[in-house]
Structure 1
Amino acid sequence: MLTASPLSPLSPLCARQRAAGSTTLLLVGTMLLLVAATTAAGFHFLLSARQIGAYQLEREIAFRAAEAALLDAEADLLLALRAGATGADARLAAWPPPGRCADGAQRGLCRPAPGVPPVWNDWLDARGSEADTGIVVGTFTGAALPVLPAGVAGTAALPRYVVELRHERPPGEWLTPVYGGAGKDTSPRFRITALGTGRDRAVRALLQTEFQP
């Protein structure tokens, strides 16, 4: 007559081998998780560094474009002052009413008014259209941005500027410098505001200066 015998317990050697296998599997799984986490962190770091580098490049392009517009505006004013204000087509023959900008031969010239936001205020909104304000580089000087070599990043749009009259004198008197007491110079003063954009036109740089020739 056959009788069932109970299973014999694992030998100490087999128990140790099974425990060692479990420990090894746990270590391998932990190492794989660490490698995956390290790889993900490294990829995120590289991506962030690339984004930061690209943004810095965009800012640099926008700044250089605005700088070119600022210099062109100064050249524009110097040429206009040298030419004088004779004839309706003279650049500085007339200024618009307060709070308005001129057109025609005087386009790009604006006259601020108390309590009215400056015309370049719209440039502060990266979602707005910059083409509605000011004039582009070279409009009156004939200057042009340098041609960049192939593969070199440049601005996606020509930089612009506006010129605002910063003093009030009777018409016809403001073109010639006037010297008051103690040699005080009251020559005309202007505020130039220039806008440059990067390859991404939402990245903008505004430069502003007070110009007194």
Structure 2
Amino acid sequence: MLLLLVAVTLLGLGAAELSIVNELGARNDRDTEIAFQAAEAALVDAEIDVLGPNTSTSARLCLFDHKDDTAFISDCGGPGANQGLCAPAEAGTTPAWMKADLSPESKTSVAYGTFTGRQYVTGTGATPAALPRYVIEVMRNNGGWDVNRLQNASAGSATKIFRVTAIGFGVRKETQVVLQTNLSKPTVSAGCP
């Protein structure tokens, strides 16, 4: 009888431990999904920043020109309109996005809504612990999206594309998801020189 009681107790403890492990796994999955959604939101915010339509008073649509990359600074710019704009790294070195500071306290990466005026809820309940952030790196367009068009290294008509790297945070800041996309802007925005 005592042996049966010990066996039932061990089974009960095992089931309780399994339940706790499953709960922790589910919580981590939820946290990762929150971070993923926040990173996707940052990509959309960056797309509006680059391509528009952007009616925010802090909009900087004119800085994203497919022919001119002078607004992009090494170490991803600083405060002001150049914030989060990364000049390309030298060939054979670490890409600019890998060196960029994407932490929630960063002064070089762009917090969600900075240049678009959009809002994102953080810090309460099942929401991210911090605003998602992004940087935009200018890159040479090696042929664009047109399969039949290839530009050689000496092409005078070479254009630029923009690589966006976004980070989203989970309920815990330690949970992070990084996503990237490339944006092509073949014409300048309306009202730009």
Q: After TM superposition, is the score higher than 0.5?
A: yes
1:192 touches 1:208 (CA, 8 Å); kept in 2? yes
Residue of structure 1 in register with 2:166 after alignment: 194
Q: 1:131 to 1:119 in 2, by over 3 A?
A: farther
Residue of structure 2 in register with 1:174 after alignment: none
Residue identity (%): 33
More helix per residue: 1
Task: Determine if the alignment matches structure 1 residue 79 to structure 2 residue 52.
Answer: yes
Task: Determine if the alignment matches structure 1 residue 67 to structure 2 residue 40.
Answer: yes
1:122 touches 1:130 (CA, 8 Å); kept in 2? no
Residue of structure 2 in register with 1:131 after alignment: 105
Query: Greater Rg, structure 1 or structure 2?
Result: 1
| Alpha-carbon separation, structure 2, partners of 1:145 and 1:110 | 24
Q: 1:80 to 1:190 in 2, by over 3 A?
A: farther
Task: Between the two structures, name the one with larger relative contact order (CA 8 Å, sep ≥ 6).
Answer: 2
Task: Determine if the alignment matches structure 1 residue 106 to structure 2 residue 79.
Answer: no
| Alpha-carbon separation, structure 1, partners of 2:97 and 2:37 | 18
Q: 1:108 to 1:147 in 2, by over 3 A?
A: closer
| Alpha-carbon separation, structure 1, partners of 2:5 and 2:149 | 80
| Alpha-carbon separation, structure 2, partners of 1:122 and 1:35 | 55
Secondary structure, counterpart of 2:63 in structure 1: coil
Return the offset for 1:190.
0.9
User: Structure 1 stretches (4+) deviating beyond 3 angstroms?
Assistant: 88-93, 182-187
Residue of structure 1 in register with 2:12 after alignment: 39
TM-score normalised by length of structure 1:
0.65
Return the offset for 1:52.
0.3
| Alpha-carbon separation, structure 2, partners of 1:184 and 1:143 | 37
TM-score normalised by length of structure 2:
0.71
Query: C-alpha root-mean-square deviation of aligned residues, in Å?
Result: 3.5
Return the offset for 1:187.
4.6
Residue of structure 2 in register with 1:166 after alignment: 139
Count of equivalent residues: 164
